[in-house]
Structure formats: C-alpha cells, structure tokens
Amino acid sequence: MQVEKGRGAVTNPAGRFEATTLTPEDDGWGSLDEPLQNPATTLTPEFPRHAITTNRSPDVPFEQSLNPYQGCEHGCIYCFARPAHAYLNLSPGLDFETRIFHKPGLAALLQQEISSPRYVCRVLHIGGNTDPYQPAERKLRSTRAVLELLLERRHPLSIITKGALILRDLDLLRALAERQLVSVFISITSLDDQLKRTLEPRAASPQARLRVVRELSAAGVPVGVMVAPVIPALTDHEIERLLEAAAAAGARRAAFLLLRLPYEVASLFENWLREHYPERADRVLNHVREMRGGRLNDPRFGHRLRGEGAYAAMVGARFARACRRLGLNQEAAPKLDVLQFEPDPGAPRQGGLFD
C-alpha cells in the first residue's frame, strides 16, 4: 500500500454498487513500483431537490439536518459517511476525501422550504453527515450563508464540527446564542498530534479545536465536546485527559461514541490500522468485535453507537465518572427556542400591548 501525504485512506477500492472493478497488473516496465501522484481535491456542484433531510433513527438526537457538502476533505479514516460515495459510483476510500460535492444556492433552497406554510419549525442540525467547516467552506461559504438565513428567520440550529473555521462565523453564532437559537459540539478524537495526522489528516489540530471551545464559550455560545469515536486500544486511554482539557477550555457538556465500521469503512479502517499501527491491529479489531456481537459492525438501532458487552460498559462507566468529577453534563441541555421562528419576515406584525 502507498500512503498519500495528507490523506486518510490508504486504498481506493471500488464502491459496492459498481459493476466492474480494476485490478493492477505489472506491465513488465515496473509501473507498479512507480509512486502514484497525490490526488488533488476536486469540487463538483450538485443541485438537490431538497435542502433538509429528515431523520427517523432513534439513535440520532435530531429530527432534521442539512449538509452543505458530500464527501469530506478532512479524511477521517473512521468516518461513517464514507459508504455514501458508493451511491455515486465513487470509492469510499480516497475518492471520498478528494471528490467533494457542494450545493450552490443551498441557502436559497432552504429559504424556500422553511417559507412553506406546511413547514413546522424544529431544530435544524448542520453537519450530521460530513463536516460543514471542511476546507472547501473557506472559499464556498455555503455554511455561512445558511447561518445568515437562519439568524434572519430566528430559526434554531445545532452544529457539530472538528473545523477551526467555525470561528470565522463567531459574529453569527454569538447573535444566535443571544436569542437561544444555537448549540455547538466540537468533535475531538485524540490529543495526540502524531496520531491525528494519520487518523484525521486535514482536520484541525487538537489544540486548535480546544481553542475553538474556549472562544465559543467566552462568546456565550453553548458548546460541548463530542469524544468520537473512542477507538479501543488506540484512543480509549485518553478519555479522562481529553475531558479534563475540554472542561478547562469551557465546555459544559460532553458525549461520546464508540467506533463503528459500517460497510466499506471496516476494510478501509483495517487497512489503515495495519499500515500505521500493525502491532496493535489485531487487538483493536478484537475489541471492536467484542462490543459488536462478534462482528466488526452491528447496525441495530440502540446498539450501533454505544456497543455492548464488558468493554463498552467499561468505557461508558469511565466516561460518566470523569464527567461527574469535572462537572460536565450537570446542567440541562440548552433549550433552543422554536417560538421565535419567522415563517414570513415580510408579513405585517401585530403590535405588542405596550408598543
């Protein structure tokens, strides 16, 4: 295998729906030994019919979401969204982190949907699939356009990201927070810079993400930390230290998810693991099987995010104990206000009693 600098996947296998596959063969001229060119990132526009996606999974704590991008240049090898690229006849491997799709006019499409008389205002989650603050956002500004619209219409939202670029939009987030319209979770997997460089090659550094927590908290934006994923025998020893750093930075809430390896992610992660941490590979995978009923993935609702068995129970107990010690999750989650929503800001307003 050849490791591409700045990329997470070490392979680019065909998606599971492709009718044909390619197998490299030596042509006698040593072509298999030649270094491959590091694939460049390409941005491709797509024009969906809807901006909002509804959710019916009981494991996911939001009813509707919006994703400005498909594919993610952060390149996190464990990303559960990787298999979605197979539906585009692209690989969940390197294609997922180099072939990025964006949605021109997304904010206008969202405006059309939330202006419908049939629309019922509920918290809109930004970034439930891929990161809304990945590198493409710096140029395209799709996420910022969505935030501007939601602030104008007084629509509540939540965000999860591992991108430090979110601080660019601190003005909007502060204004939303003043009206109880936003909550943010920053995803941090590890505090180990060396591990992060291969695990999440183009995501912000751990210290940069803690700085995001610190600045959001100082600005009055409700912010928590998502420790995700907890990887057995690779990052699990960091749980307490990571929560201590998050609490010191101003986080008031924390949650965690155990590693899950759906569809192609299982083989992609195993290849990455054997390339970068061969001495730990079998131990990591055996722990995953232990908490997934003997398999690398358990897709059942209620089990797929938390796992089961002694190992999963131990991680949950350690996490809960650390949160109690650090004062995390002691307050109720911020209640975002759906009553301020303005379905038609151009409509005449009824004056207040004492206006």
CATH number at residue 260: 3.80.30.30
Q: Residue 316 has which token pair? A: 């949950």
What does the pLDDT average to over 226-240?
A: 97
Q: Does residue 311 belong to any structural domain of this protein?
A: yes
Cα angle, residue 94 at apex, residues 92 and 100 outer, rounded to 5°: 80
327: burial class by Cβ within 10 Å (0-12, 13-18, 19+)? exposed
Q: Does residue 2 belong to any structural domain of this protein?
A: no
> What size, in residues, is the chain?
355
Q: Does residue 132 belong to any structural domain of this protein?
A: yes
Query: Comparing 59-63, 243-247, 249-253, which segment has the lowest mean pLDDT?
Result: 59-63
Most distant CA pair in the chain, distance: 87
Q: Does residue 214 belong to any structural domain of this protein?
A: yes
The model's pLDDT over 140-197, given as tens digits with 9 standing for 90+, comes to 999 999 999 999 999 999 999 999 999 999 999 999 999 999 999 999 999 999 999 9
Q: Does residue 13 belong to any structural domain of this protein?
A: no
What does the pLDDT average to over 261-289?
A: 96
Query: Comparing 35-44, 234-243, 262-271, which segment has the lowest mean pLDDT?
Result: 35-44
Number of structural domains the chain divides into:
1
pLDDT at 355 over 50: no
- The enclosing H or E element of 94 equals helix 94-98
The model's pLDDT over 53-80, given as tens digits with 9 standing for 90+, comes to 998 777 777 899 999 999 999 999 999 9
Give the distance, in angstroms, between the CA of residue 26 and the centroid of all CA atoms in the same chain: 39
Query: Scanning the structure block, which residue is given the tokens 């690398």?
Result: 296
Cα angle, residue 230 at apex, residues 207 and 69 outer, rounded to 5°: 70
Output phi, psi for 253, to 5 deg: -135, 155
pLDDT for res 193:
97
Q: Does residue 348 belong to any structural domain of this protein?
A: no
Q: Does residue 334 belong to any structural domain of this protein?
A: no
Q: Does residue 344 belong to any structural domain of this protein?
A: no
pLDDT at 33 over 70: no
Average pLDDT, the chain: 91
In angstroms, how far is the first alpha carbon of the chain from the final one? 71
What's the domain range around 47? 40-326
Picking from 246, 256, 169, 157, the residue whose alpha carbon sits closest to that of residue 209 is: 246
